[in-house]
Amino acid sequence: MPVRFARHSEVDVLIIGAGPAGLMCANALANARVNVRIVDQRAFKITAGYGDGISPRTIELLQSYGLAERLLKECSQIHLAAFYNPSSTGGIELTKRTSNITAPSARYPFEAALHQGAIQDIFLDSMSSLGVEVERSTMPTSIELSKNEDELTDPTSYPVRVVLQRLDQSEDEQEEIVHAKFVIGGDGAHSWTRKQFDITMDGEQSDAIWGVVDFVPDTDFPDIRNKCLAQSNYGSMFLLPREEDRVRAYVQLEDRDVINPVTGRVDKDRMGPEEILQTAQKSLKPYKLTRKSEFLWWTIYSVGQRVASKFSIKNRIFVAGDACHTHSPKAGKRPKFSPFPGLVTMELPGQGMNASINDSHNLAWKVAQVIRGWADMSLLSTYESERRKFALELIAFDKMWSTLVCEKPLTEQNSDGVSSEHVLKTFQTDFTSGIGIHYHPSVVVNDTYQELASGLVLGKRVPPYKFMRAADGRPFELQDLLPSDSLFKLLVFTGEFSDPLQQARVESMVADLQKPQSFLNRYATPGDSRFDVITISKDRKDKFDFLQLPTLLRSHWSKAFVDDTDPTGSFGGEGYSYFGVGSEGALVAVRPDGYVGAIAPLDRAEVLDAYFASFMKIPA
């Protein structure tokens, strides 16, 4: 019998699973020039179905990788939500039409609806342009983590050993042993990676079962191009406009119609897309809803609200996305009473895919910094502390929401009831849009000097605002000056530089930043900067000479901005007050993922020295 030798290889990061979590991570790491591989057991990429609602914050972060333009071109934008309830004549009638997203600081104040296959294609094409392809028909068969503490704490070591099996190759070429510095399991709700380390999922299974169909409708329903939640006497449904002329219908199903009495599990053979559409048709009466196309995709599913007990093993193996948290994509519990009787299920707009993409956005820059030798391994612990907390908050909000819609409505007879305005207000918080994500104090989030920039909240993402480039008066969106490029950004709000007193303060601050012990020098990596300094002065574009700024504050002519109106006078000019920065100015450190990390007064640059010293490493 011939002896078979498995091929051995080394890689910095191995990603298992090419869904939104895995692809986002692979793309972000490829952007950061990290040596990354991504494998998926599926032979082909998905082309339809699954998640389809991208939240305002996720659009912002895709923009930070240069990926939003394509999404916005291909998606359907959902600006309005409509609520329908039973009418006196037995059908449904419009109760309220309102904005789908109310997050005043959202740069994109709408939801972008596009099928998950198309969203994944955006990542796949971007990765491909960076030389990274998904290795398909490939799955791990075993994973081992070294127990040697020296190896585990040495960021240059390869302590994870994964055996990969190729399903599409001849037997003697099937096996490969990969030695990885880090492994990321983005392998979905039934995560193999999670199970190998006995990570438990805590939470409960939702009691709602949904039938989902994607099709092109033929209808006289006036809200077919808005997100719509309807409850009729026949049950509840939910319509979502999609790219081109498509729509998705979610229909809440009765257990008896879809549960196999023997196994107690959802049985897809008991109901098909035609029956799901028929149920939707009944709920939408008196309006007509038929299809002009074949069914483009359909499913029946029920998911839990669960969070993994750990998101990492020794900061070497991580789980991200559905592998560490699952949410009922559209459903809460079935309420007995509702302020909007139609509101059985009022959803948090599609949190599964959004949470997955945001997990990877949070994790990728930290892994990249550690691999480059720029940050201490301890930085990686903030992935679990930040993202697990978010997942728990999301589920708590989901439950609170479900409970709220189960309360009796406020009426003359029931003064303790909940008003429809209260329900709507709760739904329309900036939490549901992803804008409200707030990371608590840690080594990468300071908790001092918030008062110097009250609109740049420590632990929250930098909100959008337009400033004028000092050299040529061109308006720039601040978020576009903070791309996800692995660099920390230092926003220097100089105050009014043309005021001689303030100028002296700024010059003294620059002298501090130029000292050898300043973080800018301490962590300088020749030829590969870790910081980008952006200056925003409270001066007028027609008077300000940006060449007067010390050179540290204008490393390139494109790095200096003024808080003034655009050349036509249409917008801008109130950035300091919007961000709560006073005339004394402020220093603001922004993390590579766009979240505010630290704030300091101009004359206390050592606050930032201490901030960076808590996780950064001096170049070897």
Ligand X SMILES: Cc1cc2nc3c(=O)[nH]c(=O)nc-3n(C[C@H](O)[C@H](O)[C@H](O)COP(=O)(O)OP(=O)(O)OC[C@H]3O[C@@H](n4cnc5c(N)ncnc54)[C@H](O)[C@@H]3O)c2cc1C
Task: Output the smallest distance, CB 433 to ligand X, in A.
Answer: 13
Nearest to 60 by CA among 614, 620, 619, 595: 595
**Minimal distance in Å, beta carbon 23 to ligand X?**
7
Stretch of 187-195, 261-269, 310-318, 489-497 contacting ligand X, by CB under 6 A: 187-195
Q: What is the 3-state secondary structure (H, E, C) of 554-617?
A: CCCHHHEEECCECCCCCCECCHHHHCCCCCCCEEEEECCCCEEEEEECCCCCHHHHHHHHCCEC
Q: Which is nearer to ligand X, 138 or 446 (CB)?
A: 138
**Candidates 18-26, 83-91, 229-237, 454-462; binding stretch for ligand X (CB under 6 A):** 18-26
Among 38, 39, 184, 482, binds ligand X (CB under 6 A): 39
Instruction: State the amino acid at position 36 in one-letter form.
Output: V
Neighbours of 476 (CB within 10 A): 16
450 in contact with ligand X (CB under 6 A): no
40 sits near ligand X (criterion: CB under 6 A):
yes
Q: Does 341 bind ligand X (CB under 6 A)?
A: no
Query: Which region among 79-87, 253-261, 345-353, 578-586 touches ligand X (by CB under 6 A)?
Result: 345-353
Q: 592, 593, 587: which is closest to 610 by C-alpha? A: 587
Residue 52 contacts ligand X per CB under 6 A: yes
Just list the catalytic residues.
52, 242, 250, 329
* Contact between 356 and ligand X per CB under 6 A: yes
Q: In the stretch 298-327, what mask flags binding to ligand X with x, by CB under 6 A?
A: -x-x-------------------xxx----
| Residue from 409, 312, 416 nearest 367 by CA | 312
State how far the alpha carbon of 319 is from the alpha carbons of 19, 99, 303, 384, in Å.
13, 35, 18, 9
Q: How many CB atoms lie within 10 A of CB 363?
A: 30
Determine, following the binding rule CB under 6 A, whether residue 295 of this chain makes contact with ligand X. no
CA 90 – CA 233 distance, rounded (Å): 7
Residue 253 identity: L
Longest alpha-carbon distance in the chain: 86
Is 81 a binder of ligand X (CB under 6 A)?
no
The residues that bridge with 300 in the sheet, in sequence order, are 211
Per CB under 6 A, which region of 33-41, 220-228, 488-496, 552-560 contacts ligand X? 33-41
Min dist CB 238 to ligand X, Å, is 10
Task: Sort 174 into a burial class: Cβ within 10 Å, 0-12 / 13-18 / 19+.
Answer: middle
Check if the beta carbon of residue 271 is closer than 8 Å to that of residue 257. yes
CB nearer ligand X, residue 228 or residue 458: 228
Min dist CB 401 to ligand X, Å, is 16
Which is closer to ligand X, CB of 187 or CB of 593? Answer: 187
Phi and psi angles of residue 249, each rounded to the nearest 5 degrees, phi first: -110, 130
Count of chain residues binding ligand X (CB under 6 A): 35
> Does 500 sit behind a cis peptide bond, omega within 30 degrees of 0 on the bond before it?
no
Helix (H) / strand (E) element for 365: namely helix 351-371
**Binding test (CB under 6 A) with ligand X, winner from 305, 354, 432, 502:** 354
Would you count residue 188 as binding ligand X (CB under 6 A)? yes
Q: Cα(610)–Cα(588) distance, rounded to whole angstroms?
A: 14
Question: Does 19 help bind ligand X (rule: CB under 6 A)?
Answer: yes
Q: Which is nearer to ligand X, 192 or 197 (CB)?
A: 192
- Closer to ligand X by CB, 345 or 356: give it: 356
Q: Is 51 near ligand X (CB under 6 A)? A: yes
Nearest to ligand X of 273, 329 (CB atom): 329
Scanning residues 94 to 123, which ones bind ligand X (CB under 6 A)? 116
Q: Which residues of 573-612 are buried (b: 16+ CB within 10 A; e: fewer)?
A: bebbeebebeeebbbbbbbbbbbbbbbbebebbebbbebb
Q: 13 vs 616, which CB is nearer to ligand X?
A: 13
Q: Measured between alpha carbons, how far is 26 from 120 in angstroms, rounded to an integer? A: 12
Question: Quick one: tokens of 267?
Answer: 């049985």
Q: Contact between 17 and ligand X (CB under 6 A)?
A: yes
How near is the Cβ of 196 to ligand X at its closest, in Å? 10
CB atoms < 10 A from the CB of 35, how many?
14
- Given the complex with ligand X, which of 20 and 495 has the nearer CB atom? 20
Report yes or no: 401 and 393 within 8 Å, Cβ to Cβ.
no
Closest separation in Å from C-beta 521 to ligand X: 41
**Phi, psi of 90, rounded to the nearest 5 degrees:** 100, -20
Binding status of residue 276 toward ligand X by CB under 6 A: no
- Binding residue for ligand X, selected from 12, 187, 214, 512, defined by CB under 6 A: 187
Q: Which is nearer to ligand X, 116 or 126 (CB)?
A: 116
Our finding on whether 203 is near ligand X (CB under 6 A) is no
Separation of alpha carbons 147 and 248, rounded Å: 49
Which residues bind to ligand X, rule: CB under 6 A? 16-22, 39-42, 50-53, 116, 139-140, 186-188, 192, 212, 299, 301, 321-323, 329, 350-354, 356
